[in-house]
Amino acid sequence: MLRILLRIAAPRHRAFVPPMNKSVVTPFRQHDHDHDHCVDEALAQAEANCLRKGVRLTKIRRRVLELIWRRHEPVKAYDLLDRLKTEHRSAAPPTVYRALDFLLAEGLIHRIESLNAYVGCGDPSHPHLGQFLICQHCNAVAELNDPDISALLRRKSEQLGFQVNWQTIEINGVCPDCRSRQQGEQDRGLS
C-alpha cells in the first residue's frame, strides 16, 4: 500500500509520450528504451486508477495487464492463456476473459478488432476513444487520441442522421521500423 501511495505522490515522467503532440497516447516502440520502465509505469498507473475508482486490481488482473504490456504489440487471448497456464495450472479461458473484460472496462487496455488482440493503453486516466495505427508487416501498434478526429466523424455522421455510439478507428499501414527496413532493402537492391 505504501508503495502505491508513494507512486501517486511522485509520478515519474511518461517515457513514451512525445511532449510536443498531445494526441499521441502511445507511439510506436522505440529502440534503446527501457521497456521495464514502460511496464512499471503502466502497472503503477493501473494501480493508481483502480485505487481512485475503488475497484480491485487483483493479482490475476494485474498479471494479465503485465503480460499485455510485455511488448509494444497486440497480444491475443490464447497467448495470454498459454502463458498463464505455465504459472497457474488451473488457468482456463474464463480466467483470462474475465480479467480482459475488467481491464477493458477500466480503460487499461484496448481491443484491436482487426487483429482480435489487445494492447495496453498509455493514458488510462483519461477515458477516450482511440485511433490506432497498425503495421501490416509486424503488427506494431501506436495509439492516437485526437478529439478533433472524433468530433469530425461525429459531425459527418450526424449529417447523415446517424447517431454514433462508439468509434474506434483502425488504420493499416507500415510502421517506422518496417519502413526503414524496406528502404534499406531497396537501397541495397539499387547499389
| Least distance from Zn ion to the Cβ atom of residue 40, Å | 10
Partners of 110 in beta bridges: 119
d(CA 119, CA 74): 5
Per CB under 5 A, contacts with Zn ion among 139-158 are 140
Of residues 169-188, those binding Zn ion (CB under 5 A): 175, 178
Give yes or no for residue 76 binding Zn ion (CB under 5 A).
no
Strands (E), 35-166: 109-112, 117-120, 131-135, 141-144
In order, the DSSP letters of 5-26 are HHHHHSPPP-TTS-TT-TTEEE
- The interface region with Zn ion, picked from 3-11, 55-63, 85-93, 123-131 by CB under 5 A, is 123-131
Minimum distance from residue 42 beta carbon to Zn ion (Å) = 9
Nearest to 108 by CA among 96, 117, 119, 95: 119
120 closest CA partner among 136, 103, 138, 133: 103
Nearest approach in angstroms of CB 16 to Zn ion is 6
**Among 49-57, 73-81, 96-104, 132-140, the segment contacting Zn ion (CB under 5 A):** 132-140
75 binds Zn ion (CB under 5 A): no
Strands (E) located in 86-173: 109-112, 117-120, 131-135, 141-144, 169-173
For Zn ion (CB under 5 A), the number of binding residues is 11
Q: Output the nine-digit C-alpha cell for 166.
A: 462508439
Of 5-13, 44-52, 112-120, 131-139: span binding Zn ion (CB under 5 A): 131-139
- Of 1-9, 45-53, 87-95, 118-126, which segment contacts Zn ion by CB under 5 A? 118-126
Cell of 182: 524496406
Give the x-and-dash track for 9-48 against Zn ion (CB under 5 A). ----------------x---------x--x----------
Indicate the residue among 14 and 35 with the shorter CB distance to Zn ion: 35
